[in-house]
Structure 1
Amino acid sequence: MTQTSADASARNAFRGGATAPYEDASLPVDERVEDLLGRMTLEEKAGLMFQTIAMIGPDGLFIDDPADQPMGKTVREMVEGLQMNHFNLLGGARPEQIAAWHNKMQEIALSTRLGIPATLSTDPRHHFTDNPGTAALAQGFAQFPETCGLAAIRDEKLVRDFADLARREYLAVGIRLALHPQIDLATEPRWSRINATFGENAELTGRLVAEYIRGFQGEGPLGAASVACMTKHFPGGGPQKDGEDPHFPHGREQVYPGGMFEYHLEPFKKALEAGTSQMMPYYGMPVDTDMEPVAFGFNKGVITGLLREELGFDGIVCTDWGLISDSLIFGEPHVARAWGVEHLSESERVALVIEAGCDQFGGEARPELVVGLVKDGKVDEARLDVSVRRLLREKFVLGLFENPFVDVEAAAALVGTPEALEAGRIAQSRSITLLKNGTEAPVLPLAAGTKVYVEGVDAAVAAEYGTVVASPEEADVAILRMRTPFEERPGFFESFFHSGTLAFPEDKLAPVLDVCGKVPTVVDIYLERPAVIPEIAAASAALVANYGAADGPLLDVLFGRRAPEGKLPFQLPGSMADVEAQRSDVPSDSKNAVFEYGHGLSY
């Protein structure tokens, strides 16, 4: 299917019904919402309140075997049987294949009794990654540095342009909801999700997130050309105890030893000013505070009291994924992230989330629990209507009822254009942060043809810049690429969350120092977290950091084709003892930092 729009009569052809007032685009949105809401059954309302993962198969295959879907249910089963129509796309394919998959999903949604079009969402797909587990997401899309890299450049216009580019590419394949930006503050150096933040500084994060949201959503209210943003993780998920992540029971506690809760809240205020359409609370359970010690998605004081009443947010609040039911993730059992309310039944957890003020359950496909609560008199159907109105309204203002389909042929031409790919490559180079450049004289930039020994760099790519040699002894300069250390954790899913130590073990550090002792060495470190690198900082001839960059964009900087512009978006601590002594909610709290927040040289 290559249609770019479908009028009311075409939509009704899918279900054989007559045009209803809610399908009349000439009527006010609120009137259309009320008309559709009045036609919905309890089961249809409950289905709208769930959003979960849908897997796209190889080469865009539409998977019809429930055993091959993460939730154990196919999209068709969830749409037709459970009345669901919000899906988080997992997996990758070529843009035109994603577009075709999206249209197939919409055909199923439009064939239901009311023909409510589906909303497709995604985690970020526009960042450079060499992780095979996430690289598929970026297939065909322009690739920029991770969000920390955008923060390192500190260019508000670039962030706006990036978001606008991503918006256009999302629209082309049918994605209408971004499960980002992530604006937690990176004040706990050990936390595994720092690379997706804008760093540790609340003021910078607030400025950049405002442009990010405007690039995706537009200057004013949401419209047909918008991609809605689900900003996360309210009220700030950075200060995790010991840096452990609350996806897992051992990381459930969120702490504020420095008393800086308000500091972590500041970027969210800027997101609200910019008009973010949705908010996602984190899994974290606050401890040793005046807040109720339950995960934020269950926390009425935080969702209703703070977000809704104090800050005035009337948009959609969707929980993080998997608060209600135990589940299998990549075939491994994981308990529900019901931190602080583990003793409650699934139905009781659902009721508590609704009472807290949330509108939608992320990562769940259990609308029967909501139906049961209403039928048992434990939740008023009128309370469901409050959330369903919000969810329906967003579909209307995004123009999904008028244009549920995308043009498959156009998607291939609109996504990953040469201009977009080049913009991503330039941004990768601009984000490179030069931390050290010689002691007595600059080492960088290198002259074309310089004899280089490389590790962690594709020799074929390096040969386009210098003369690649086989050993440090033959080289004028060595170039070593490394990444921030982490502890190996058990379990396939947890292995993606790089946590624990930030210091290189001796068996990894010694070879680096050995090369540094033989030849002037340029060390590049991927800072997915703030690495502890005092020995490398001392021994290297030059030291640079990246936040997601291919070899070419890095070498463009090292050989002077582009100048490094990056500034550290967080402090680099001097030792693990220093890290352990830091307060998790306080920025730049290392007393013996190797490099301070904002450090960055150029030439």
Structure 2
Amino acid sequence: MKRTFSFVWILALLGLGSCNHSAESKIDRRVETLLAEMTLDEKIGQLNLVDSGDLEELVRTGKSGALFNVVDPARVNRLQRIAVEESRLGIPLLFGRDVIHGFHTLFPIPLGQAATFDPQLVEQGARVAAVEASAAGVRWTFSPMLDIARDPRWGRIAEGYGEDPCLTAVMGAAMVRGYQGGDLRNPTSLAACIKHFAGYGAAEGGRDYNTTKIPARELRNFYLPPFEAAVRAGAATVMTSFNEIDGVPSTGNPELLHEILREEWQFDGMVVSDWNSLGEMVAHGFAADKRDAARKAILAGTEIDMMTFGYSGHLRELVESGEVPESVVDDAVRHVLRLKFRLGLFENPYVDEGLSARTSYAPEHLATAKRCALESAILLKNDGALPLSRVRNLLVTGPLADAAHDQNGTWSFDADPGHTVTPLTALRRVEGLHISYVPGLKYSRDRSSAEFAHVTAAARRADAVVVFLGEEAILSGEAHSLSDLHLAGAQSGLLAAARAGGKPVIAVVMAGRPLTIERDLANCDALLYLFHPGTTGGEAIADLLTGRAVPGGKTPVTFPRTAGQIPMYYNHNNTGRPAVGNEILLDEIPLRAGQTSPGCTSFYLDSGWEPLFPFGYGLSYTTFAYGAPRCDRETYGPEETIVVECTLSNTGRCAGTEVVQLYVQDLTGSIARPVKELKGFERVTLDAGESRTVTFRLPVEELAFHGFDLTRRVEPGRFRFWVAGDSASGTPAEFEVR
């Protein structure tokens, strides 16, 4: 059964908690009983999260209630046994790990998972990750990352779901459900940690850890909705972000942590700092020293200190001096203990030490990962070179052709590259296909052109050439921001050398972000783009190249033509002078032209105003035609639901899957509104020649936004809508809200 997805669909989900009301009442009684027995030092210990030092001594003396980056089941059990059997109160440990896009079996990085527009599949992937990680003793993951990212220079764009609040909300809620399962007490569950709360993706200049400038309305309308959706989906924990908002670091921000998270959203889970983010409040100039940072953080609502040692070093003194009421510490400890009870750690603290070997890389896990890799692939160009149906002699070249480690992408701590199938390996397994392999470059940053002549000569002998390009894993992710987004090293030169062979050239790019590839499009007949696809990425690529599978992925983020266009995102506000399409570009300006000769609209003289590829874009081996969109009537009340329909037809020669997207524009508001906003999407598979009516049910409530007075409401007026295959196409229609 097909299902359409939207933010309101997420908010309407049932079963938002991990336990029923009766079970929660029992847990609360157990928490209060245990809390009453705890000394102040034991309480503080529960708020200390570490991964280094004499862990056994810290646990034995009750100075740490949670550990992370311990993934050996035998060591997990040894430390857990100390906590349960040797500490005074026997409170079990909580073990955490960055399980970002899989544990052993790696799925595409989150940006690649977003390209599937398939939340059910993303949920299945998170379930696989939970099963594998929990088998190693991990019960808490610092994922999903729900930061809206409009700047591909920011390396951590790899870890999120792109630039759109609706897509990020749906995917984030899917990850929460997948990690946590139907019941946190199940030993295969992971407590999700939604991060980074909030606004981290707006780092100025795309430079990691940088300051942000987010107006209150923009924070509410764009950056917070995915977090609210994940809270509604039952997320067990929240992580504060490194950045400040309007001068206040998130780790010490009571407006974020108390007023919004606790009071507005009624979040009853646990809040953890990011790594040393308490200490970094000193560098921000918001706290005088670590003691002051600890005071501000605990009073703001940050409950667990990750690797700052601010609470363990100063919280007792702050309580004894009266600067921090012990009741504040008690509230924080309540949330920690409640999570441990919800996870069933008091009843089942230990892990089967042989389970990890039996679950890792299970055939069904690999099959799900491959399906995700297949659906994540985005066909950006195809002048008939794909699929390779008539090719018998294929030249494979490029630094990513046989780079298992790099194919896995960022945050792949626990994966064994020996299990990763590269494209070269997979293509060599294709029956009837003879593969010649000339690496061309040793790695993505390699600047040597020594093998280029060899590549050109080999290309002349082949029927076609596939050039595997992109980024090494280390070039994206945390602390890996870039100012130049061209293919690194001599990769563009390698592509040109392959083109000089005179045969069809297919470029396959595997990267952690959108790269500025406009200059490379002329040197290839087809281009397939994957955000680092993980363990089974090579198998998926081989199936896509040979036509055994059909691409259906869509861009979850705008692809700019040049880094100078950034930030560039589809759901921007209009200007008083928007570009209209007839602007004169740099090389067209006549000599001695008057001052206004290029026109007075919002665009760049050297790159125009349009992106290279818009949000939601992706081709197929077939073609799709959209009928005019329509809704069931012209006017709606605030409590009603808009029914939008559109006929989709497969007009090509093979079956294919299209991601049908619904966009809406509020034509007039109390504040300027975006030119388009994604409100729903559906994956639709059609046979050649088949047509189907696609229906979206859009509650009018989903048109609400935080307006001039910062109150969230639906404002009456005219709205324009599109049903299309990307954010830049489609025939508009209108409706009215009274």
TM-score, shorter chain, exceeding 0.5: yes
Residue deviations 1:273-326 (CA, integer Å, cap 9, x gap):
11111111211122xxxx4x021111122222222222222321111111244x
Paired residue type of 2:466: I
Q: Which residue of the partner structure matches residue 74 of structure 2? A: 100
Identity of aligned residues (%): 28
> 1:461 Cα shift?
4.1
The answer to whether structure 1 residue 381 and structure 2 residue 326 are counterparts is: yes
Do residues 142 (structure 1) and 105 (structure 2) align? Answer: yes
Tell me the amino acid that sits aligned with residue 344 of structure 1: A
How do 1:46-57 and structure 2 match up within 5 A? 46-53=44-51
Cα 1:241–1:498 change in 2 (3 A) is closer
CA displacement, residues 214-251 of structure 1 (integer Å, 9 cap, x when unaligned)? 122234676665321110111232111000111xxxx2
Match of residue 499 from structure 1: 482
Distance of aligned partners of 1:51 and 1:368 in 2 relative to their CA distance in 1, 3 Å threshold = same
What CA distance in whole angstroms lies between the structure 2 residues aligned with 1:155 and 1:89?
30
Q: Is the 8 A contact 2:569 2:615 kept in 1?
A: no
Residue 116, structure 1, aligned to residue 52, structure 2: no
Alignment-derived partner of residue 567 in structure 1: 554
Where 1:238 maps in the other structure, the secondary structure is: helix
State the Cα distance separating 1:167 from its structure 2 match. Answer: 2.0
Matching residue of 2:219: 261
Contact 2:134 2:187 in 1 (8 A): no
**1:242 matched residue in structure 2:** 205
Unaligned runs of 5+ in 1: 1-24, 54-70, 93-97, 128-137, 326-335
Q: Gaps (5+ residues) in structure 2?
A: 1-22, 403-423, 439-457, 575-602, 622-738
Q: Distance in 1 between matches of 2:150 and 2:619?
A: 23
Per the alignment, residue 116 of structure 2 pairs with 153
Comparing both structures, which one devotes a greater share of its residues to helix? Answer: 1
Do the aligned partners of 1:255 and 1:584 also contact (CA within 8 Å) in 2? no
Contact 2:559 2:614 in 1 (8 A): yes
Distance 1:412 1:511 in 2: 41
Displacement of 1:460 in angstroms is 4.6
Give the residue type in structure 2 aligned to 1:122: R
1:368 is the counterpart of 2:313: yes
For residue 492 of structure 2, what is the aligned residue in structure 1?
509
Shift of 1:345: 1.1
Sort the Cα spacing of 1:423 and 1:26 in 2 relative to 1 into closer, same or farther, 3 A. closer
State the 1:583 CA deviation. Answer: 7.9
Q: Shift of residue 82 of structure 1? A: 5.4
C-alpha change, 1:258 and 1:50, in structure 2 (3 Å) is closer
TM-fit CA distance, 1:341: 3.0
1:393-542 equivalence runs, <5 A: 393-438=338-383, 441-447=384-390, 449-456=392-399, 457-458=401-402, 459-465=424-430, 466-469=433-436, 470=438, 471-484=458-471, 497-504=480-487, 507-518=490-501, 519-542=503-526
> Aligned with 1:481: secondary structure?
strand
Quick check: which has more Rg, 1 or 2? 2
Q: 1:193 to 1:239 in 2, by over 3 A?
A: same
TM-score scaled by length of structure 1: 0.79
Give, in whole Å, the separation in 2 of the partners of 1:514 and 1:448. Answer: 20
**Please, which moves more after superposition, 480-489 or 263-272?**
480-489
Q: Which has the larger displacement, 161-170 or 393-402?
A: 161-170
CA contact (8 A) 1:486 1:502 kept: no
Alpha-carbon RMSD across the aligned residues, in angstroms, is 2.9
What do residues 417-442 of structure 1 show as CA deviations (whole Å, max 9, x unaligned)?
1221222123212211111111xx34
- Residues 547 and 597 of structure 1: is their aligned pair in 2 closer, same or farther, counting only changes over 3 Å? same
The count of residues paired between Structure 1 and Structure 2 equals 516
In structure 2, the residue corresponding to 1:539 is in which secondary structure?
Answer: coil
In the alignment, the residues of structure 1 paired with residue 340 and residue 79 of structure 2 have an alpha-carbon distance, to the nearest angstrom, of 15
- Classify 1:541/1:259 alpha carbon distance in 2 versus 1 (closer, same or farther; 3 Å): farther
Distance 2:553 2:182 in 1: 28
- Larger mean CA deviation between 557-566 and 380-389 belongs to 557-566
> How many angstroms apart in 1 are the aligned matches of 2:556 and 2:475?
25
Matching of residue 347 in structure 1 with residue 283 in structure 2: no
Q: Show the 5 A alignment for 1:308-319.
A: 308-319=262-273
> CA separation in 1, counterparts of 2:24 and 2:116?
44
Match of 2:721 in 1: none
The one-letter code sitting in structure 1 at the alignment partner of 2:193 is: M
Cα displacement string for residues 255-280 of structure 1 (whole angstroms, at most 9, x for unaligned residues): 23796222111111111111111111
| Offset, 1:406 | 1.1
Q: Which amino acid in the other structure matches residue 538 of structure 2? A: D
- Does structure 2 retain, via aligned residues, the 8 Å contact 1:225–1:398? no
* TM-superposed deviation, 1:539: 2.3
Match of 1:307 among 245, 261, 270: 261
* Equivalent residues of 2:208, 2:481 under 8 A apart: no
Please give the residue correspondences for 1:271-290 in structure 2 after superposition, counting only pairs within 5 Å. Answer: 271-286=230-245
User: Cα offset for 1:568?
Assistant: 0.8
Equivalent of 1:76, from 18, 39, 56?
A: 56
CA 177–487 in structure 1, closer or farther in 2 if over 3 Å, else same = closer
Q: CA deviation at 1:502?
A: 1.1
Partner SS state of residue 189, structure 2: coil
Aligned residues of 2:243 and 2:249 also touching (Cα < 8 A): yes
Secondary structure of the equivalent of 1:226? coil
1:57 paired residue number: none
Paired position in structure 2 for 1:12: none
Q: How far apart, CA to CA, are the structure 1 residues paired with 2:570 and 2:257?
A: 23
Q: Given that residues 324 and 346 in structure 1 are in contact (C-alpha distance below 8 angstroms), is that contact kept between their aligned partners in structure 2? A: yes
The equivalent residue for 1:332 is none
- The amino acid across from 2:89 in the alignment is L
Give, as a single letter, the amino acid of the residue that structure 1 aligns with 2:551: P
Counterparts of 2:472 and 2:139, CA distance in 1? 36
* Equivalent residues of 1:103, 1:406 under 8 A apart: yes
Aligned partners of 2:91 and 2:397: how far apart in 1? 55
Distance 1:304 1:222, change over 3 A: farther
What is the TM-score with the length of structure 2 in the denominator? 0.66
Contact 1:258 1:583 (C-alpha < 8 Å) held by counterparts: no
| Aligned equivalent of 1:163, options 126, 130, 141 | 126
User: Any conservation in 2 of the 1:177–1:228 contact (CA below 8 Å)?
Assistant: yes
Describe the SS at the equivalent of 1:348: helix
What is the aligned partner in structure 2 of residue 187 from structure 1?
150
CA distance in 2, matches of 1:507, 1:564: 28
Residues in 2 aligned to 1:165 and 1:501: alpha-carbon distance in whole angstroms? 36
* Rounded Cα–Cα distance in structure 2 between residues aligned with 1:324 and 1:257: 24
8 A Cα contact 1:281 1:297, kept in partner: yes
1:218-233 matches, within 5 Å, as 218-219=181-182, 226-233=189-196
* Cα pair distance change 1:26/1:523, threshold 3 Å: closer
Which structure carries more strand by proportion?
2
**Are the aligned partners of 1:172 and 1:406 in contact in 2 as well (CA < 8 Å)?**
yes
Change (3 A) 1:275 1:337: same
**Residue 60 of structure 1 corresponds to which residue in structure 2?**
none
Partner of 1:320: 274
Q: Which amino acid in 1 is paired with 2:495?
A: V
Partner Cα separation in structure 2 for residue 365 and residue 547 of structure 1: 36
Q: Distance in 2 between matches of 1:304 and 1:258?
A: 16
Asked if structure 1 preserves the Cα contact closer than 8 Å seen for 2:100 and 2:159, the reply is no
CA distance in 2: counterparts of 1:585 and 1:234, whole angstroms: 22
Shift of 1:170: 2.5
Q: Is the 8 A contact 2:149 2:157 kept in 1?
A: yes
Aligned CA distance change for structure 1 residues 43 and 258 (closer, same or farther; 3 Å) = closer
* SS of the residue 1:371 aligns to: helix
Distance (whole Å) between structure 2 residues aligned to residue 258 and residue 562 of structure 1: 45
Partner of 2:180: 217
